[in-house]
Structure 1
Amino acid sequence: MTTAFITGANKGLGLETTRRLVDSGVDVYAGVRDPDKADDVRALGVHILRLDVTDTDSVTAAVSSLPRLDVLINNAGVIGHGGGVDDLDADAMVDTLDTNVVGIVRVTQAALPLLRQSSNPVIVNVASGVGMGRFLQDPGRDEFPVAAIPYAASKAAVITLTVQYAKNLPEMRINASDPGYTATDLNGNTGHQTVTEGTDATVRLALLGSDGPTGEFHDRTGRIEL
């Protein structure tokens, strides 16, 4: 049986990804910041692990409790500072990058020894179309109205680190997913996609075989050219 570990699994995209993986027969370990607030994901019959991706000790403890690992899904993220340039400061930028970018590195580095023991190791990093500069400049795209700097910059970094990890680890399938404009708490549930639609790319990439693509960025319709 395939074993997966997903971060930020207690709600929204993480919860729906977890549900769909369970339905696909995957043994899922769900990382959540507060297990006391994880009733919805616990109801899916998964293993609950306390995890704060900004805390190295927390990451080490969570990964150390995994019996094995085939699929890592770095889903945890924050929207961060949503204002304009005038009220943006360096601390707000650091906070967002610490969760959305450095958090992925913390978890991935801790998980690599287990992934290297898998016959089909897979990593999926949940990014966003707002990490694509050409999308932010296209008035016809959902991303165009986004003015906030930290979140967009963090997701651009996620796309790039995915490519670099894939180059360094060619024996693994390492890709990034774009959920699209999906209704979640991060956007006040204003997105026009359902969480099921928003997890299509993540789930598809999580279930890749060893002959699947790597170093790519996908949305629910397929590959996005970088």
Structure 2
Amino acid sequence: MIDHSLITQCNIITKPDAKISDTPVIIGIDEVGRGALFANLTVAAVILPATFSGEFNSVDLRTTPIELINDSKKLTATRRERLFEPIKLLAADYAIIDVPRSVIDEINVLHATLLGMRLAIETLVARHHLVPRNTQIVVDGHQFPNLQGGCAEFFYQNQTLIKGDATHSSIACASILAKVHRDRQMLLLDKVYPEYGLAKHKGYLTAQHKAAITTHGILPEHRRSYSPIKELFATGHLNHNFW
């Protein structure tokens, strides 16, 4: 059972005044920031119009605003930015969930990721009163989250797809929303902590990031359950300008 206080720490963004008219509904889910050692991870869930949602070999996205979508990891940052608003406009609805550092450190990154996925799914299911007979949920990866009250088992069209962001349009759109959203947060935090190079590495462990931590100390947003942050935190190697 997840402590409700953990849920309340997560930030949830949805499409204003969203309405679902097409059936069946496919919810695509992906995350970004799981491997970073700084700040939140972000999960996004997207409901595309039915004719645009499916594996790439089964949908025709030519002449659509999202014809350039693909695995967000293979797109340039410029192209991801160009797709961000068109995806939000085209989507029947979306949910973007920020799971903060505090939750990641308390329940570990795997459970934090699954919590974010659960919140994204349950948010969209509740907003539109979705029912199993016309709802399919597709998650990037190999693990499906436990939904509240065990109701995941009733959404019998659950599916996990390894590298789903490279094969399914709804997961690809979720991947782009999650990545652009989180990258923008890192750009804002880079202005607060310019010595750490967050605009470049987005909080992942690179030589530049490691050198900045060694020189300046760890920040409140660093994940204290991750190595090498855990060891440095234990020795008090903090950037005292921000604690």
How high is the TM-score relative to the length of structure 1?
Answer: 0.29
- Structure number having the greater helix percentage: 2
How high is the TM-score relative to the length of structure 2?
Answer: 0.28
Larger gyration radius, structure 1 or structure 2: 2
Higher-RCO chain (CA-CA 8 Å, sequence separation at least 6): 2
